Amino acid sequence: MISLRMSSGDRDAQEDELLALASIYDEDEFKRAPSGCGGEIRVLVDLPEDFTLLWSGDQKENLQNSKFECTVSFLPPIVLNFEFPADYPSISPPAFTLSSKWLSQEQLTARCKHLDTLWEENRGSVVLFAWIQFLKEETLDCLNIASPYEPKIYGQEPEQNGTIQEDASNGATGGAMEQEESLNGRTVQDVGSLSTLIREIIDFDHAHQEKCFNTKMHDCKICFSEKLGSECMYFLDCRHVYCKACLKDYFEIQIRDGQVHCLNCPELKCLSVATPGQVKELVEEKLFARYDRLLLQSTLDLMADMVYCPRPGCQTPVMQEPSCTMGICSSCNYAFCTLCKMTYHGVSPCKISAEKLVQLREEYLAADDTTKKFLEQRYGKRVIQKALEEMESKEWLETNSKSCPSCGTPIEKLDGCNKMTCSVCNKHFCWCCMGSLSKARPYEHFNDPASPCFNKLFQGLLNDMEEDI
């Protein structure tokens, strides 16, 4: 009779404990076994703020950088699988295994020993919640794990001293005793390589931060409405939050205006930029295709070795060789000069338009010796010299001559009166006001009191004579 009562009490205690766990933790954290006598608990270890992950790799790993460091808020859970014996909790403890991606088997073995100790201290009582709290709150302290933390794979030594240490209460690490303990089926480090481990930690941290964000309420900084995180989005660098409806309108306006590099955080003076994935999530397919195309084009424009096919109907990006000025379009097979964008002309200097000639003069005069030499090689010294001579001639004509009001021919006045006759079109005009004069009575303009040039026939000449005297 006593044995039956004890068995019934154990069954009730087990059921009560499982129901309590189901009410505390959600389905992602606790799953009851189909048999009803066990389950799986995924324990997230409490991390301090700005917990840093450190990895010093070698060429054997697949990570691009030999050194890697990042800050995480969550690490993959420690998984506790348990099964109740018939006489739990009165006599026997739960049978259990521990697995983790970021704790080595030596560290997991130490956790198993501590769970055994907790059972001995609470023998006769349910113990799962105490185990969970220990794994959650005391794992880092008991293992002396601090930021920056460098994980390792079982059988590999840490690359920095003090990265992995066991507390004295759990015995020495790395010895034959712990290796035997780790191989008894109670511990598993569920990861294949360090590079895989790093990627899985980062992916889990991102996914769990997203989950936490989606379940909380946030204030949109545009419409000032409070909305659930699943209806909002934040910029990764600054963490400023906006509702998806406001960001959708904001992104669409910028993309339609062609401002694909201006999809930054709307906060004043904030430089955080939306990722392509965030843009794709919010805007319609056609607008994202436009965004993607303009973003690619602007990126190509910044590449020094990238030019576009000059044919208006083609415009295909073409990679140019560093030491060659010839580009061949992969789409239309047009061979062109990458400097002047005309048909390839070999070693002959580039032909230049009148508009480009003006730009060339200004660029050459403002350039240093190295740039001047490059321009001379690109366009030829004779072209450069011609451009400079034309500029000097133009400046001289602007200073010392006036254009005929009839045909525009530049005319220099050396001496004589202000009644001028163009040597090209034979038209008469006044040098003072540049007005046209009557062919029959050209001097009437200077004798008419109503004329602006009355008595100014010899105005400039008289002033020059007075200065000579």
Instruction: Check residue 248 and give its pLDDT.
Output: 93
- Which stretch of 4-13, 174-183, 223-232 has the lowest confidence by average pLDDT? 174-183
pLDDT bin (cut points 50, 70, 90) of residue 57 is low
Contact 350, 359 (CB under 8 A): no
- Give me the domains of the chain, ranges plus CATH numbers: 2-206 (3.10.110.10), 217-301 (3.30.40.10), 313-348 (no CATH), 354-400 (no CATH), 413-469 (no CATH)
- In angstroms, the CA 104 to CA 179 distance is 11
For the annotated catalytic residues, the residue numbers are 417
Give the predicted TM-score (pTM) of the model. 0.54
d(CA 164, CA 440): 110
Q: What is the mean pLDDT of the chain?
A: 81
Q: Which two tokens stand for residue 331?
A: 């789409």
Q: Which residues contact 246 (CB under 8 A, 6 or more apart)?
A: 220, 222, 223
Per-residue pLDDT at 4: 41
For the stretch 132-166, pLDDT in tens is: 999 999 999 988 988 888 877 755 444 443 333 43
Instruction: Give the model's pLDDT for residue 159.
Output: 40
Query: What is the reported pLDDT for 162?
Result: 36
Under 8 Å between Cβ of 215 and 232? no
Does 348 or 172 have the greater pLDDT score? 348
pLDDT confidence of residue 236: 85
CA distance 272 to 372: 40
241 pLDDT band (50/70/90 cuts)? Answer: very high
**Pick from 120, 119, 143: nearest CA to 130:** 119
Residue 127 contacts residue 119 (beta carbons within 8 Å):
yes
Whether the predicted pLDDT of 285 surpasses 60: yes
